[in-house]
């Protein structure tokens, strides 16, 4: 999205580098109700809905619910620890635990071509390219203590994903010759040899995001193109250690087991699909995915793995082109349409996603208007947590600190990174798993017979679980 305010204009408007806005300190008792369109959701710690209506930010930057506050901890054009400028175009991001209760954030910079604030690396993959990644060290007081380049010389580092072994997979969203790869970044080894070595077996295509199954080590990938495909990478080395992905593996694309159509746009309400995986050539994976009749999505974006489930979104899918959220369950090898937006007040063009510590899915919008952080519950209901009031630039890189007490997110242009805290719900791993097998909204849920539904109720199962077992030949009745 094009920015409506450049960095110098922004700084003139308010000297925002030191701002810390306190909306309230009233705690959980202040949680009120919020509704957008026809949807609302319950906070897991309260009988009220969501985190309450948003409070207008007097600084005109970021509206949050009552009881929450933010601090801008980094901005483009600032200074890294070695004096180089902080690169622009903040995008995907992940948080890792650091020393002395600190948090290490690894952040993408979606840069291509010339820019006032490029990633200036000492050991770049390509000296002519301006993209890359940085790391931020954030103390337990949510203040920045250090910021440095972790990789350089790449193009349009859009999203990516963290790994269970503590590294960041940064993705190039480009088809430029010599680019379009995934790189593994170790924040504790900035600009090391691994950071400039593409994982070629993960494919050369317009990458968006990755997410890794901690049980199997399989990496799932989305493609930001049109059409786009849903891929997975099966590593030769499943040790889940730093550098193991460099030993290569097999790239596959998802196809429907029994299909009337390979177009995701033709998915009907009430359908759940069995998946088969087809090997594709990593040097031309999209072409082979088309040839092998793999599922064609509109334009895939964010990805996250939690509770045994891979979540991803299709930003412009659906009848209203407002976006869809999908769920792939490796244990049953099934793909489900979990949510489709029919009202831009509910959700408009979902992008980066993450799972909250208490089990809601949080989605950053890139809709071209007032972009928000949208929460989605296991019941398929939505609520708004934050709104960007600065400009029409996208929100990106949503991620939580390892203790679940701080939420980090970026505004892309001008590049700003926020630390947000307040009365977040308590950590709830069980509810994260509930999100993974909860029934989709009624119009998207699998259709089961009255007899099977009654059996599921007697056994304390969801209709979704019963349908999955039945579909895979388990004799429930």
- How many Cβ atoms are within 10 Å of 55's Cβ, its own excluded? 15
pLDDT at residue 461, as a whole number: 67
Q: Does 449 lie in the same domain as 393?
A: no
Q: Does 459 lie in the same domain as 332?
A: no
Q: Does 119 lie in the same domain as 199?
A: yes
Encoding tokens for residue 183?
Answer: 């790189």
Q: What is the mean pLDDT, run by run of 10 residues, along the chain of 477 residues?
A: 38 35 29 28 49 95 97 98 96 97 98 96 96 98 98 98 98 97 97 97 98 97 96 98 97 86 69 90 97 95 96 93 94 90 93 96 91 90 94 95 97 97 92 82 67 76 65 51
pLDDT at residue 118, as a whole number: 98
What does the alpha-carbon distance between residue 92 and residue 135 come to, in Å, rounded to a whole number?
12
pLDDT at residue 443, as a whole number: 63
pLDDT at residue 442, as a whole number: 66
Residue 254 belongs to some domain of the structure:
yes
Ramachandran category for residue 247: left, alpha or beta (phi over 0 → left; psi -120 to 50 → alpha):
alpha
Count of domains for the chain: 2
Q: Tell me if 31 sits within 8 A of 23, measured CB to CB.
A: no
For residue 228, give every residue at least 6 positions away whose Cβ sits within 8 Å of its Cβ, in sequence order, or none: 206, 208, 222, 286, 296, 297, 298, 299, 300, 314
In degrees, to the nearest 5, what angle opens at C-alpha 104 toward C-alphas 100 and 109? 165
Q: With CA atoms as reference, report the closest residue to 338 among 283, 376, 374, 293.
A: 376
Q: Does 345 lie in the same domain as 291?
A: yes
Q: Does 246 lie in the same domain as 291?
A: yes
pLDDT at residue 4, as a whole number: 39
DSSP bridge partners of 421: 69
Domain region containing 455: 442-472
- How many Cβ atoms are within 10 Å of 214's Cβ, its own excluded? 13
pTM: 0.85
Q: Does 400 lie in the same domain as 314?
A: yes
pLDDT at residue 441, as a whole number: 67
Q: Tell me if 133 sits within 8 A of 151, measured CB to CB.
A: yes
What's the half-sphere exposure (Cβ side, CA atoms, 13 Å) at 387?
A: 19
Q: Which residues of 444-472 are buried (b: 16+ CB within 10 A; e: fewer)?
A: bbbebeeebeebbeeeebbbbbbbbbbee
Q: Does 262 lie in the same domain as 192?
A: yes
pLDDT at residue 80, as a whole number: 97
pLDDT at residue 40, as a whole number: 36
Q: Does 460 lie in the same domain as 340?
A: no
pLDDT at residue 450, as a whole number: 81
pLDDT at residue 272, as a whole number: 79
Q: Which residues of 80-114 are buried (b: 16+ CB within 10 A; e: fewer)?
A: beeebebbbbbbbbbbbebeeebbbbbbbbbbbee
What does the alpha-carbon distance between residue 321 and residue 315 come to, in Å, rounded to a whole number?
8
pLDDT at residue 21, as a whole number: 38
Residue 333 belongs to some domain of the structure:
yes
Q: Does 334 lie in the same domain as 376?
A: yes
Q: Does 122 lie in the same domain as 80?
A: yes
pLDDT at residue 459, as a whole number: 67
Residue 17 belongs to some domain of the structure:
no
């Amino acid at each position: 999205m094009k920015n409506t305010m450049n960095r110098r204009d922004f700084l003139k408007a308010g000297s925002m580098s030191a701002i810390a806005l306190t909306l309230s300190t009233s705690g959980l008792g202040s949680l009120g109700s919020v509704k957008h369109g026809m949807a609302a959701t319950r906070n897991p710690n309260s009988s009220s809905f969501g985190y309450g209506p948003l409070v207008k930010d007097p600084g005109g930057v970021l509206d949050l619910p009552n009881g929450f506050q933010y601090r801008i901890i980094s901005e483009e054009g600032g200074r890294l620890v070695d004096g180089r400028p902080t690169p622009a175009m903040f995008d995907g991001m992940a948080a890792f635990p650091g020393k002395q209760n600190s948090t290490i954030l690894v952040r993408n910079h979606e840069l291509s071509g010339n820019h006032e604030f490029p990633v200036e690396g000492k050991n770049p993959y390509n000296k002519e390219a301006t993209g890359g990644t940085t790391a931020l060290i954030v103390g337990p007081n949510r203040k920045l203590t250090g910021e440095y380049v972790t990789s350089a010389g790449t193009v349009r580092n859009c999203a990516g994903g963290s790994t269970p072994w503590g590294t960041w997979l940064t993705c190039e969203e480009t088809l430029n010759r010599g680019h379009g790869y995934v790189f593994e970044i170790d924040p504790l080894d900035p600009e090391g040899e691994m950071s400039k070595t593409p994982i070629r077996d993960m494919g050369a295509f317009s990458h968006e995001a990755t997410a890794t199954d901690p049980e199997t080590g399989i990496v799932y990938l989305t493609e930001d193109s049109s059409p786009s495909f849903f891929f997975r990478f099966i590593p030769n080395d499943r040790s889940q250690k730093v550098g193991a992905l460099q030993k290569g593996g097999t790239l596959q694309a998802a196809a429907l087991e029994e299909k009337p159509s390979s177009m995701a746009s033709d998915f009907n309400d009430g359908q759940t699909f069995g998946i088969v995986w087809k090997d594709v050539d990593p040097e031309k994976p999209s072409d082979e995915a088309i040839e092998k009749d793999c599922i064609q999505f509109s334009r895939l974006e964010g990805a996250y793995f939690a509770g045994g489930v891979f979540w991803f979104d299709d930003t412009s899918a659906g009848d209203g082109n407002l976006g869809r959220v999908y769920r792939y369950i490796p244990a049953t090898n099934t793909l489900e349409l979990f949510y489709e937006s029919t009202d831009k007040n509910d959700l408009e063009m979902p992008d980066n996603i993450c799972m909250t510590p208490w089990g809601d899915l949080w989605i950053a919008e890139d809709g071209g208007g007032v972009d928000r952080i949208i929460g989605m519950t296991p019941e398929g209901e939505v609520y708004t947590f934050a709104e960007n009031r600065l400009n029409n630039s996208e929100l990106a890189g949503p991620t939580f600190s390892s203790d679940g007490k701080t939420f980090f997110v970026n505004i892309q242009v001008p590049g700003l990174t926020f630390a947000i805290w307040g009365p977040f719900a308590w950590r709830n791993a069980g509810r994260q798993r509930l999100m993974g097998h909860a029934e989709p909204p009624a119009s998207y849920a699998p259709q089961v017979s009255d007899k099977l539904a009654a059996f599921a109720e007697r056994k304390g199962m969801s209709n979704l679980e019963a349908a999955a077992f039945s579909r895979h030949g388990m004799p429930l009745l």
